[in-house]
Chains A and B, each alone.
Chain A
Amino acid sequence: MATMGSTVLHLPSGPTGVVGKLHPTVLFNICDSFIRRNDQQERVIGTLLGSFSVDGTVEIRNSYAVPHNESLDQVAVDIDYHRTMFELHQRVNAKEVIIGWYSTGSGVSASDALIQDFYGREVTNPIHLTVDTAFTDDQANIKAYVSTPLTLGDRPLAAQFHEIQLDLRLVEAERLGFDVLKMTVVDKLPSDLEGLEGTIERLQDMIDTISRYVDNVIEGQLPPDNAIGRYLADTIASVPRVNSDAFDKLFNDSVQDVLLVLYLANLTRTQLTLAEKLNTAAQIV
């Protein structure tokens, strides 16, 4: 915090309403560039691309590393590189704009203020993302900050970094499956049926948990929670109540449709193989 002087010190007030949403590609990119850094560098710096939305949320979609040189009191960032890469990325996706920058390593250091300043010239309120790759505190610390300048009258003194809320939007990672991403090597991508099997197992687990909870509440071992009870009742009620005949008819119809299409597809395949055998057998003079 800055010291008091004879002029009024302006301090920011109120919580910052900015929320950041992080896409998994960015995380992977950062880790990858950290692994590939030059030997002398301790940390990696790069630009974040994304979009600002109207209600104050910032979506962080993409990133690229920028070579930089850091010594005790000086920081040099390769601006040309940063500009060139930005242009290249713009060509692919014009909607992604510069929204801030990232660095690996925990916490915020003194030179960050300078870099924040530089990025402040590109966009009004740059976001600073730190990814703790050294796992200090035994935790994966991913934090995002916005900065406000501290001014003493007219002179800029320092920049204060506030942490903002960061939302991890891992939908795409989920698509690949966390199992695939957790291991260092996965030998085979799971096929359709295996995936479905996994899903159904998880569904079964969930239902088991719920039924155990309900049993416990009935026996009096656990205190009943009205909110949960109501939620459960709603969920079960959302299963459509169709009387048996109608359901049977619906079920049979759908099963028949699917079987018909399946039969047709297999027939086509057999026909193709047969035709090809005949082609090879026939000798045209």
Chain B
Amino acid sequence: MADGNPPPMRSFAQAASTEEIVVPSRVVQIDGLVALKIIKHCKECMPALVTGQLLGLDIGSILEVTNCFPFPSRGGEEEDEVEADGANYQLEMMRCLREVNVDNNTVGWYQSTYMGSFQTVELIETFLNYQENIKRCVCIIYDPLRSGQGVLALKALKLSDAFMELYRTQVFTGEKLREKNMTWKDIFEEIPVKISNSALVSALMTELESDAPATQCDFDRLVLSTNPFMEKNLEFLIECMDDLSMEQQKFQYYYRNLSRQQVQQQAWLQKRRAENAARRLSGEEPLPEEDPNNPIFKPLLEPSRLDSYLITNQIANYCGQVNGFAGQSLSKMYLMDAFHAD
């Protein structure tokens, strides 16, 4: 059954003005090369925290990362110089890489972290900075310390869309957040990571694989000493708790002030009404029931909940790490027990 006419062609202007639907990226595909480079860079500069840029292609629901380069670390120079230097470095690097046919497209950045403590306001701001230019950008977090335990601690994060919109309004009161139904879990979204290699590289690696039955990674994993890692984790957890309790105190202070203000308002209102009643009796004009100039009517600013959200996120992260680590150490200890029984 054919229509009489073909569907009407859209004019170019119409086509240009329809919004592109941005498909959220569902998987991040990293090249083995990128993973190795990130590991190398972060390990070399430990314990300093470093960052770098990710280059790649954005196709469909897969975000491919094919190359990366590290940023030079700032050495305590003046802010302006460092800014200009950094931008210059980036431009030069991208120009040079383009000459050797590397994908010239920025898709995000990576940073190293210390024991998983990466949730800061700066991270959010950097995300927003990137998001303005690139539709889908991702941040890869690498934890060199945890990788010393034998786990590859590489994750890809993205700010959730709902949170980004909220951030733009810069309002983080309880009401707003309840409206959007946002919990502290919703700030960052983790995207699953895939690793891909070119055929040449995989052929080379297959040839070069060492014949030893165990690798250094295995030795790292089987280390029995659990205390240092746990201690550090707990230390950070406790610090975060302190921060959280400070935030709570801020809120309590605010609520106390709010209720005090309301009591004052009620009292004032009572007085006014009494006055008005008296005036009516005496036949004068009643005074208005509101007085915007009175300081007790000034609305109090509710403190932003963003920090407490970030802190709770951080705490949850630490707890997760402790969980994973405890699982491993328990298995190792039971293994030792079995050995000893023999």
Contact = CB atoms under 8 A, between A and B. Distances in A.
Interface of A: 23-25, 27-29, 31-38, 61, 64-65, 67, 81, 84-85, 88, 91-93, 133, 135, 139-140, 168, 170-178, 180-193, 195-196, 199-200, 202-203, 205-206, 209, 239, 242, 244, 247, 251, 254-255, 257-259, 261-262, 265-266, 268-269, 272, 276, 279-280, 284
A259 B167 CA distance: 39
B214 A202 contact: yes
Contacts of B35: 176
A140 B203 contact: yes
Contacts of A23: 40
Contacts of B151: 191-192, 195
B22 to A, nearest CB: 24
Interface residues of B, number: 90
B152 A199 contact: no
Nearest to B32: A181
Given A182-B202, A199-B222, A261 B195 contact: no
23 contacts: A27-B201, A28-B201, A35-B200, A91-B72, A93-B44, A171-B216, A175-B39, A180-B195, A181-B205, A182-B205, A182-B206, A183-B197, A183-B202, A184-B198, A186-B194, A192-B324, A196-B328, A200-B331, A202-B214, A203-B214, A254-B329, A265-B237, A268-B315
Contact of A133 (B200, B226, B230): B200
A188 B96 contact: no
B197 A272 contact: no
Interface string B159-196: 00000000000000010001000011000000011111
Contact of A181 (B147, B197, B214): B197
B92 A88 contact: yes
A25 B200 contact: no
Contacts, number: 231
B124 interface: no
Contact of B101 (A37, A92, A173, A269): A37
Given A32-B33, A192-B151, A262 B72 contact: no
Given A88-B92, A181-B197, A247-B340, A192 B328 contact: yes
Nearest to B305: A279
Contact of A81 (B29, B99, B325): B99
B199 interface: yes
- Residue from the set A64, A81, A268 with the largest chain B CB neighbour count within 10 Å: A268
A81 B184 CA distance: 48
A209 B29 CA distance: 38
Contacts of A81: 96, 99
A280 B214 CA distance: 51
B282 interface: no
A27 to B, nearest CB: 7
A187 B67 CA distance: 19
Contacts of B316: 269, 272
A269 B237 CA distance: 11
Nearest to A37: B101
Nearest to A263: B326
A172 B39 contact: yes
Contacts of B18: none
A170 B96 contact: no
A174 B204 contact: no
A28 B36 contact: yes
Contacts of A261: 230, 234, 322, 326
A84 B96 contact: yes
B330 interface: yes
B13 interface: no
A191 B320 CA distance: 13
A257 B224 CA distance: 14
Given A172-B43, A254-B226, A265-B322, A177 B152 contact: yes
B260 to A, nearest CB: 14
B323 interface: yes
B303 interface: no
Contacts of B337: 251
B209 interface: yes
A99 B217 CA distance: 29
